[in-house]
Amino acid sequence: MPLLEKTICVPGSKSITQRALVTAALGQGTSTIVGPLRSEDPLLLKDALVALGCNIEEKGDDWVINGTGGNFAPAQGKCSIFMGNNGTGIRFLTAVVCLLEKGPEIELTCTKRMEARPIESLLQALRAMGANVKSKFNTGCPPVVIVPDGSFKGGDVTIDASKSSQYLSALLLIAPYTKIPTRISLVGPLASSPYLKITLSVMEAFGIKVEEDSGAFLVPQGSYRAREFQIEGDASSASYFFAGAAITGSSVTVENLPQDSIQGDARFVDLLEKMGCTVMRSQKGTTVVGPSVGGLKGVEVSMKDMPDMVPTLAAIAPFANGTTVIKDCPHLRIKETDRLAAMATELARLGADVEELDDGLIIRGGKGLRPSRIKTYDDHRIAMSFAVVGLKVKGLEIEDPSCVKKSFPGFWELWDKTFLEVLSVEF
């Protein structure tokens, strides 16, 4: 018998919401996004699109977007748009702004941390397509300055997306609107490859089907078709609840995470299954049942395709028998914080046996942990991962818990409601 059985819904997917915002804003006609994620990042992107002249209205839980057909009309004069630490958003928006016809300079600004997160590979590709775009301080990172001068045209372009798939997604999303057909080839491997599938799926849902030919992406010219579009629950947000089930021998069902989810992070449950959990998948949701306490096993795994799941996996690894080896994810060092360093430092603070590698972590399970105050480095995923640890390590405190607002403002409320009974159990 599971310790507790809970069924929940998580907020909409951040990745899908941001793609749908872009396709609907570029589209022809009025789209309705049903169940978008209302958190800091998508709201920043939504406000940015409004600043570029796109009309977006909130109707109940939905967003109604009057598509621009690719003809944005920002207010007159030099304009500055703040994108916070929204990596996906600033990369997508940089490409969108390159579509603007002749007009005053547009600057995309951000937090200090985002100023250390690279964007140069995307800028290089956009320049090769004719854009007048640069990193303001020549750091290869934002702020980004774009001077729309009518010379952006598209064409054959190569891009290095080995540090972030968001560069490729950004180019693909705007490519239907370039003056000449755009064909994108990758140089080097693609980081976080399942996010490409989300991009291609959302583009196709809005009427643009990208052809793949010997490794190149051929993007048909055209306009996105307006439609009503339902956002799935966020698989990355769901992971904390599944992880909580995994280490406490509980059962958690996430109703709005269907079996055929387009999100790569929905496959995190496969990993939990390997570690000893029971997983049930259907169109009505996904259930994870943790093994009885002491039954979780360590795994050795490449996390190159699931970077956002590394903090979640690292959070449960100290409670698993044996060693967990997390490999192939150097790109974790350029996220909201250096997540390999952050997880290693904070797990060690609790007394875990953890080793930081250049591209991953080694965590040896079975060591008793002691409570402490955890630093979150203004990173939502560090805060939510240590909420998982806190189910087992009573008295653990999390600094600046409100940083979850980036992707999941209601996290703590849902967390406490879901795991209320477990919060008082001494394991």
Ligand X SMILES: C=C(OP(=O)(O)O)C(=O)O
Ligand Y SMILES: O=C(O)C1=C[C@@H](OP(=O)(O)O)[C@@H](O)[C@H](O)C1
3-state DSSP call for residue 292? coil
Joined together, the tokens standing for residue 168 give 């490729």
Site for ligand Y in 328-357 (CB under 6 A): 331
Given candidates 6, 46, 281, 381, which one binds ligand X under the rule CB under 6 A? 381
- Options 79-87, 138-146, 205-213, 250-258: segment touching ligand X (CB under 6 A): 79-87
**Residue 160 among the catalytic residues:** no
- Options 84-92, 256-264, 281-289, 345-353: segment touching ligand X (CB under 6 A): 84-92
Distance of CA 11 to the CA centre of its chain: 13
Nearest CA to 132 out of 154, 151, 153, 110 is that of: 151
192 binds ligand Y (CB under 6 A): yes
> Which residue among 265, 305, 308, 378 is the active-site one?
308
DSSP-derived secondary structure for 3-34: S-EEEE--PBPHHHHHHHHHHHHHSBSEEEEE
Cβ proximity to ligand Y: between 175 and 247 the closer is 175
237 binds ligand Y (CB under 6 A): no
| Partner whose footprint covers residue 223, from ligand Y, ligand X, none (CB < 5 to 8 Å by kind) | none
Given candidates 10, 12, 15, 123, which one binds ligand Y under the rule CB under 6 A? 15
- Options 96-104, 159-167, 213-221, 359-367: segment touching ligand Y (CB under 6 A): 159-167
Q: Is 158 exposed, middle or buried (0-12, 13-18, 19+ CB in 10 A)?
A: middle
331 binds ligand X (CB under 6 A): no
Distances (CA, A) of 93 to 29, 49, 139, 322, 395: 20, 8, 19, 44, 42
Per the annotation, does 91 bind a ligand? no
407 binds ligand X (CB under 6 A): yes
Nearest CA to 74 out of 100, 112, 113, 110 is that of: 100
Spatial neighbors of 320 by CB under 8 A, at least 6 apart, are: 275, 296, 297, 298, 299, 365
Question: How many residues bind ligand X, per CB under 6 A?
Answer: 9
Distances (CA, A) of 30 to 92, 161, 184, 236, 319: 21, 32, 29, 29, 49
Annotated binding site for 3-phosphoshikimate: 14-15, 19, 164-166, 192, 308, 335
Q: Give the active site residues.
A: 308
The binding site for ligand Y (CB under 6 A) comprises: 15, 88, 164-166, 169, 191-192, 195, 307-308, 331
Residues of the shown chain interacting with ligand X in the complex, contacts defined by CB under 6 A: 85-88, 308, 335-336, 381, 407
